[in-house]
Chains A and B, each alone.
Chain A
Amino acid sequence: MIIALETQSLEKQFGGLRVTRDLSLKIEQGARHALIGPNGAGKTTVINQLTGVLKPNSGRILLEGQDITDLPVHKRVLRGLSRTFQINQLYPDLTPLETIGLAVSERLGHGGDWWRRMGTRSDVNGEIADLLTRFHLLDVMNEQTVTLPYGKQRLLEIAVAIAAKPRVLLLDEPAAGVPESERHDILAVVGSLPRDVTVLLIEHDMDLVFSFADRISVLVSGALLTEGPPEQVARDPQVKAVYLGEEAVNV
């Protein structure tokens, strides 16, 4: 069993508030791993630490056995750790063609190329065309991102993360805010990710989690409550209590 991504005793505090408590996760290579938990469990904080946006107070993060705890965001990406954002983080003025083109160029090491024009490298163009086709964005490739319908923006958000050819992909609520009619495209894309890519899914939607994940970790108040295959987690009385409790509050 090869571990793609691992955290060791991760701790994060905002002032006096412990948002990540002694969190040790192991995500197997090729896994479809889901991280679930009620609102405010600290799921996004964990993602932000994994990707380097936030620095943990203590603990370590290992990517394929190598310590990446102190690496800046962009270097983690180049090592094969890529993410999508819960709320779209795109470039409003750029087109899907430019957005994906940039991500592909950066990965192939042409991003700092200041002399050669965009669009003159056939390897880059080929990959862009492939991604635009796979994510149903070919017809809108010259539109400004800000003008695209939300579903298309969501697809672009995922396409950008895939363009970095990650070995570990973090999906932060990929279907969040997407209308029912456009949901299918997103789910199909998420389902068709290559098997050798390790996926960590952060999700609220239990249908999506149970149809997708082969392993689930439950996060409550920043600490790991339980972990196991979906059937086991579904039966876990503690998990039921957490979610029933939450529902009871919601009602």
Chain B
Amino acid sequence: MSASSDVGYHAQRKARWHYGEAAFWLIVLACGFVFPTRYLIMTDILRLALFAMSLDLILGYAGIVSLGHAAFFGVGAYAAGLLALHGIINEPVLALVVAGLVAMVLGFATSFLVIRGVDLTRLMVTLGIALLLEALAERFSNITGGTDGLQGIEMQPIFSEIPFDMFGKTGFFYSLAVLFLLFLFARRVVHSPFGLSLRAIKNNPLRAAAIGIPVNRRLIAIYTLAAFYAGIAGALFTQTTAIASLDVFSFERSADLMLVLVIGGTGYLYGGLIGAVLFRMLQELFSTITPQYWQFWIGLVLVVIVLVGRQRLHRWMLYVPNLVIRQIAGRKAVVAVPESDA
């Protein structure tokens, strides 16, 4: 039946790889060879990108706003730090996964609080959980090192073969590999029926339930997965910097993350990645121009994006490329259709 295969073809339209995507990843990989003196900042961008991708999963796809995503980042960071410091798990990759799982358990447990409310409640609950964990980490300083943080972490070689070097080369390629694998996984998930149902819930929870979608269960699942991703990002932070301090839980970290995602755009997975690059570059740029007041400029950029972007806030990045493509190839050939709500 031709209509049926036609439907199958179009249903997979968004799931197909585009040349632009391949180019994107090749450029990222090439950066590892072109800028051998910039590993530390590039690794930092990769971690931030992974962290932002985690927020995109809940915010961009399921519409869950969070101002406390650092909670999972922090738990992952401390878990990885403690595992390495006490020699519980020496192999970094295994420790990374375990740290991610610890964050995931926390994500699952707290998801029940988060799914109950509407946007404002969710902001407050997520913010509260992060503050709570920060205070707990400070209180139990015998475990966490308190305000000094965990010190003296020594990372063992990856797979007992590849040692971390002082230039951060290993750290960069290690982080890149982790980011890419988790990206592939997320990409698969968002193009599945499950991923589509999240977008339906974000669009209209009432109708989502009315076609038989168990709304709460789906939200719990994606929140838990996002917590895993954030935990991995946190663990990467500890593993590649060999420190874990209280600021992993900080409100600024959660708030910056929101900025990163708004700058990059939500709901197409690359937003977090592009946003992380732009955010760090802007930060660098502004702090060279005005070391004290760089936040002023970041704030200004944010306001401009939100005002100019408005309706197409989460796809504003694609506005110009799509305009060009439209001129050349007609309306249907756009990279991604801008969504209508913010």
Chain A positions near chain B (C-beta within 8 angstroms): 51, 53, 72-74, 77-78, 82-83, 85, 89-94, 97-99, 101-103, 105-107, 110-120, 122, 125-126, 128-130, 132-133, 138, 141-142, 144, 146, 160, 163-164
Binds A, one of B10-18, B26-34, B100-108: B10-18
Whether, in the assembled complex, B166 has its beta carbon less than 8 Å from a beta carbon of chain A, the answer is no
Instruction: Report the Cα distance A155→B212, complex, angstroms.
Output: 19
Q: Are A118 and B11 in contact (CB under 8 A)?
A: yes
A125 partner residues in chain B, CB cutoff 8 A: 4-5, 7-8, 11
Asked whether B340 lies within 8 Å of A163 as measured between CB atoms, the reply is no
B12 closest partner in A (C-beta): A119
Contacts of B339 in A (CB 8 A): 93, 144
Considering the chains assembled together, what is the distance between the CA atoms of A114 and B192 in angstroms? 5
Which of B127-135, B153-161, B193-201, B229-237 sits within the interface?
B193-201
Decide yes or no: A113 and B193 within 8 Å by CB, A77-B212, A92-B340, A93-B203 being known contacts: yes
Query: Which chain A residue has the least Cβ–Cβ distance from B203?
Result: A91
B9 is an interface residue with CB less than 8 A from chain A = yes
A73: nearest residue on chain B (CB-CB)?
B209
Closest beta carbon of chain A to B112's beta carbon, Å:
16
Instruction: Report if A117-B209 is in contact (Cβ < 8 Å); known contacts: A106-B197, A129-B1.
Output: no
- Residue in B10, B194, B207 whose beta carbon sits within 8 Å of that of A89 in the complex: B207
Closest to B16 in A: A117
Once the chains bind, are A114 and B195 in contact (CB under 8 Å)? Answer: yes
Chain A residues contacting B13 (CB-CB under 8 Å) are 142
Partner pick for A92 among B189, B206, B221, B341, CB 8 A cutoff: B341
Q: Quick check: A103 and B211 within 8 Å, CB to CB?
A: yes
Output the least CB separation between A133 and chain B (Å).
Answer: 6
- State in angstroms the CA–CA spacing of A133 and B199 once bound together: 24
Q: Does residue B210 face the partner (Cβ distance < 8 Å to A)?
A: yes
> B7–A111 contact, CB under 8 A?
no
> What would 14 A/B residue contacts be, using CB atoms closer than 8 Å?
A83-B210, A89-B210, A91-B199, A91-B200, A102-B213, A103-B212, A106-B211, A111-B193, A114-B221, A118-B193, A125-B11, A128-B7, A129-B1, A141-B10
Min Cβ gap A36→B in Å is 23
Q: Which residue of B lies closest to A72 (CB)?
A: B209
Asked whether, in the complex, the Cβ of A111 is within 8 Å of the Cβ of B209, the reply is no
The residue in chain A whose Cβ has the minimal distance to the Cβ of B14 is A118
Q: Give the complex CA separation of A130 and B214 in angstroms.
A: 25
Against A, the Cβ 8 Å flags (1 = close, 0 = not) of B8-49 are: 111111010000000000000000000000000000000000
User: What total count of A-B pairs have CB within 8 Å?
Assistant: 161
Residue among B8, B12, B199, B209 making CB contact with A122, cutoff 8 Å: B8
Which 5 residue pairs of A and B lie closest in terms of their CB atoms, listed nearest first?
A119-B11, A91-B203, A77-B212, A114-B194, A129-B3
**Inter-subunit contact B196/A102 (CB<8 Å):** yes
Q: How many B residues touch A, CB cutoff 8 Å?
A: 42
Give the one of A82, A118, A144 with max B CB within 10 A.
A118
The yes or no answer to B215 lying at the interface (CB within 8 A) is yes
Judge whether A119 and B15 touch: CB under 8 Å: yes
Chain B residue at smallest Cβ distance from A107:
B212
Q: A102-B196, A114-B194 are in contact. List 7 more A-B contacts (CB 8 A).
A: A91-B200, A91-B204, A102-B197, A106-B197, A114-B192, A119-B12, A129-B3
- Contact, CB under 8 Å: A116 / B193: yes
User: Which of A94, A117, A138, A146 makes the CB contact (< 8 A) with B12?
Assistant: A117
**B218 at the A interface (CB under 8 A):** yes
Partner of B192 from the list A51, A113, A163 (CB cut-off 8 Å) is: A113
Taken together as a complex, chains A and B put the C-alpha atoms of A132 and B11 apart, in Å, by 13
Chain B residues 78 to 101 lying within 8 A of chain A, measured CB to CB, are none
A115 vs B5: C-alpha distance in the bound complex, in angstroms? 20
Does the CB pair A102–B211 fall under 8 Å? yes
Query: Which of B12, B212, B217, B221 has a CB less than 8 Å from the CB of A118?
Result: B12
Taking a contact as CB atoms under 8 Å apart, the answer to whether A91 and B193 are in contact is: no
Residues of A within 8 A of B191 (CB): 117-118
Cα-based distance from A126 to B7 in the complex (angstroms): 8
CB neighbours of B196 from chain A (8 A): 94, 98, 101-102, 105, 118
Residues on the A chain within 8 Å of B214, using CB = 74, 112
In the complex, whether B188 has a CB less than 8 A from a CB of chain A is yes
CA distance A82 to B207 in the complex (A): 11
Within the complex, what minimum Cβ distance (angstroms) separates B192 from chain A?
5
Partner of A119, one of B8, B217, B340: B8
In chain B, what residue has the closest Cβ to A143? B337
Any A CB within 8 A of the CB of B6: yes
- Pick the residue among B7, B200, B218 that contacts A112 (CB under 8 A): B218
Question: Taking the nearest CB of chain B, how far is it from the CB of A107, in angstroms?
Answer: 6
Contacts of A85 in B (CB 8 A): 207, 210
